[in-house]
Chains A and B, each alone.
Chain A
Amino acid sequence: QQQVKQSPQSLIVQKGGISIINCAYENTAFDYFPWYQQFPGKGPALLIAIRPDVSEKKEGRFTISFNKSAKQFSLHIMDSQPGDSATYFCAASGLEDDKIIFGKGTRLHILP
């Protein structure tokens, strides 16, 4: 009930390509879905977040797509750049249990 399943574990994309990371959750009480980006030696930093009342949110090259009925959400990175190489975590939380649950992370490598 409390899990957030993230895939793939690792991803290699050519520069300029689209990177796609997927997450699935089980707890229908979750109502906040953030994505975090982590560079080596740093703590995670909030990248973008979505609530289930919208199906898509875009910020620059980063887009979250949200499918409430399937309980899935994904991160799309358009025109991927070598500087995007990092580990990405999806997460979920809800008011009834206000801790944030993280996926296990995706290590993204963008080839120059």
Chain B
Amino acid sequence: KAGVTQTPRYLIKTRGQQVTLSCSPISGHRSVSWYQQTPGQGLQFLFEYFSETQRNKGNFPGRFSGRQFSNSRSEMNVSTLELGDSALYLCASSLVIWGEGTEAFFGQGTRLTVV
């Protein structure tokens, strides 16, 4: 069974640009959550999608957005990149909504560097 696939693995962008990250969940999983991981702040929740609907959103500015497609694949977009957006972006997939105690599986992440 294939795991969670995130593409690309590494990305270097310039301030002011925008970026789109992709996450393919485990087959059959309908929930995808996105997290930003930085050394100082740990894992910060961005948003969760379930059956193409955003279920929950963290405290990030509107420059961070996401969507989920009918095949459960998800994308997140960051517009007008800032240096502080440099981080590891992780997505996690679960069978149902993660907060209901079901196990979630993380991808390896996309390392975004903003210069």
Is chain B found bound to chain A in the same assembly? yes
List residues of chain A with CB under 8 Å of any chain B CB. Answer: 31-32, 34, 36, 41-46, 49, 51, 89, 93-95, 97-105
| B98 and A89 form a contact (CB under 8 A) | no
Assembled-state Cα–Cα distance A34/B100 (Å): 12
Main secondary structure, interface of A, reads strand
Chain B interface residue count, CB cutoff 8 Å, equals: 26
Assembled-state Cα–Cα distance A95/B101 (Å): 9
A-B contact count (CB 8 A): 66
| B4 and A32 form a contact (CB under 8 A) | no
Residue of B nearest to A6 (CB): B42
The verdict on A49 contacting B108 (CB below 8 Å), with A89-B42, A100-B33 known, is no
Answer whether residue B56 sits at the interface, using C-beta atoms and an 8 A cutoff: yes
Instruction: Report B27-40 CB contacts with A as 1/0, cut-off 8 Å.
Output: 00000010100000
In the complex, chain B residues 81-108 whose Cβ is within 8 Å of any chain A Cβ: 90, 92, 97-101, 103-108
